[in-house]
Amino acid sequence: NSSYLLLAIETSCDETSVAVVRDGRNVLSNIISSQIDTHRQFGGVVPEIASRKHVESITIIVEEAIREADISLENIDAVAVTQGPGLIGALLVGVVAAKSLSLALDVPLIGTHHIAGHIYANHLIGDIVYPALALVVSGGHTELVLLEQEGKFRIIGRTRDDAVGEAYDKVARALQFPYPGGPYVDKLAQEATEEVVLPRSWLEPDSYDFSFSGLKSAVLAEINRSRMKGESPDFSALARGFQNSVIDVVTVKAMKAAKEFGVKQMLLCGGVAANKGLRERLASLCGDVGLPLLIPTNKLCTDNAAMIAAAADLKWRRGEFSTLDLKAEPILSL
């Protein structure tokens, strides 16, 4: 149980991130290099460009993480990396870098699941109490995950079409915001004085699944309707309507699942967990029933390597190491 240093790498999408974490929880550095300025002009992440950018930055970001942690590379005891899911070319860069470091330093390699990372970002800000329920809301994922015990994940609900973040980004584009537009929609919704009430997609009464593509279409239809009438659409009222519909559905389903499975804690995570409206609503609903809630800081919500270190720490403590034939997996179950 002596102190150990973990270097973690995350390159599953458009952030090149490297972190140095002591004993699985003490973040010494968490460098995030975003490629978003490059991808923005294309209105989304271009996989081929993402891979090339990761190649350009990975060694520089490793050096920066080491420098900021004020350690030397030789002090690293293990290397963790996001194995999947994500963009295959992007994942490969991180996996190859991690293997090289593991080989050169002769330390264990730990392949990690991206969503386990988002969930265990919560372990960096507080103690997780089991059973816990994680509401995972990101650009690529929308899932309700039951954690009966540490490191044991059971998906009880997932999106059947768009992920929440994806829906936010598509709506943001219709509202003429740059990519990724989630934060702009959030801000506009907060400022709005009017609301265009939009449908809520509850699906079957006993289902914990989600669907957001109909809601996204409803926003687009409203915009078209206004334009057909020669009026200019009320973007802020639409942003508020969209945000309220999303928040209602995800929080009501999360609270219902929390009750049904008798969890002792709620965990919110993923990029959309940075959403102010969602954070506030979930905090208030959990407060009403006395259910403890953890939400990572905004930096730990969006893609970052410290969260990968937090998830890898579970495997370190169990001695579950990967071998050098670790494969990057674009599709990987939790």
| Helix and strand numbers, DSSP H then E, in the chain | 11, 10
Strand partners, 157: 144
CB of 185 to ligand KG4, least distance (A): 6
Contact letters for ligand KG4, residues 256-285 (x by CB under 6 A): --------------xxx-xx----------
Establish whether the linkage from the previous residue to 296 is cis, with ω within 30° of 0.
Answer: no
Residue carrying the six token digits 């593991």:
102
**Considering beta carbons, is residue 186 or 222 the nearer one to ligand KG4?**
186
Strand segments (E) across the chain = 5-10, 15-22, 26-34, 78-84, 109-113, 132-137, 142-147, 153-158, 265-269, 293-294
Residue carrying the six token digits 């939790």:
334
According to CB under 5 A, which residues from 263 to 322 bind Zn ion? 303
CB of 38 to Zn ion, least distance (A): 18
Whose CB is nearest to ligand KG4?
A: 271
How do 109-113 and 78-84 pair as beta strands?
parallel
**Considering beta carbons, is residue 266 or 305 the nearer one to Zn ion?**
305
Q: Can you give the length of the chain in residues?
A: 334
The answer to the question of residue 13 lying near ligand KG4 (CB under 6 A) is yes
CA gap 257, 154 in Å, rounded:
12
**Considering beta carbons, is residue 58 or 274 the nearer one to ligand KG4?**
274
Judge whether 226 is annotated as a binding position: no
Stretch that binds Zn ion, among 23-31, 89-97, 136-144, 230-238 (CB under 5 A): 136-144
Q: Within its chain, how far is the Cα of 13 from the centroid?
A: 11
Type of residue at 8:
A
Stretch that binds Zn ion, among 53-61, 67-75, 133-141, 144-152 (CB under 5 A): 133-141
Binds Zn ion (CB under 5 A): choice among 138, 244, 265, 322: 138
CA gap 265, 298 in Å, rounded:
20
Partner from ligand KG4, Zn ion, none contacting 21, C-beta within 5 to 8 A by type: none
Strand partners, 143: 136, 158
The answer to the question of residue 168 lying near ligand KG4 (CB under 6 A) is yes
How do 26-34 and 15-22 pair as beta strands?
antiparallel
Judge whether 275 is annotated as a binding position: yes
Written as six digits, the tokens of 82 are 């996001």
Type of residue at 216:
K
CA gap 207, 234 in Å, rounded:
33
Contact letters for ligand KG4, residues 101-140 (x by CB under 6 A): -------------------------------------xxx
Judge whether 186 is annotated as a binding position: yes
**Considering beta carbons, is residue 85 or 108 the nearer one to Zn ion?**
85
Contact letters for Zn ion, residues 24-53 (x by CB under 5 A): ------------------------------
**Considering beta carbons, is residue 10 or 101 the nearer one to ligand KG4?**
10
Closest CA to 318 of 126, 150, 77, 98: 150
Binds ligand KG4 (CB under 6 A): choice among 33, 57, 251, 302: 302
The answer to the question of residue 183 lying near ligand KG4 (CB under 6 A) is yes
- Tell me if 134 sits within 8 A of 144, measured CB to CB: yes
**DSSP-assigned letter for residue 121:** G
**Considering beta carbons, is residue 249 or 272 the nearer one to Zn ion?**
272
Establish whether the linkage from the previous residue to 233 is cis, with ω within 30° of 0.
Answer: no
**Considering beta carbons, is residue 18 or 107 the nearer one to ligand KG4?**
18
Contact residues for Zn ion, defined by CB under 5 A: 138, 303
What residue numbers does the annotated binding site for Fe cation cover?
114, 118, 303
What residue numbers does the annotated binding site for substrate cover?
136-140, 169, 182, 186, 275
Contact residues for ligand KG4, defined by CB under 6 A: 13, 138-140, 165, 168-169, 180, 182-183, 186, 270-272, 274-275, 302-303
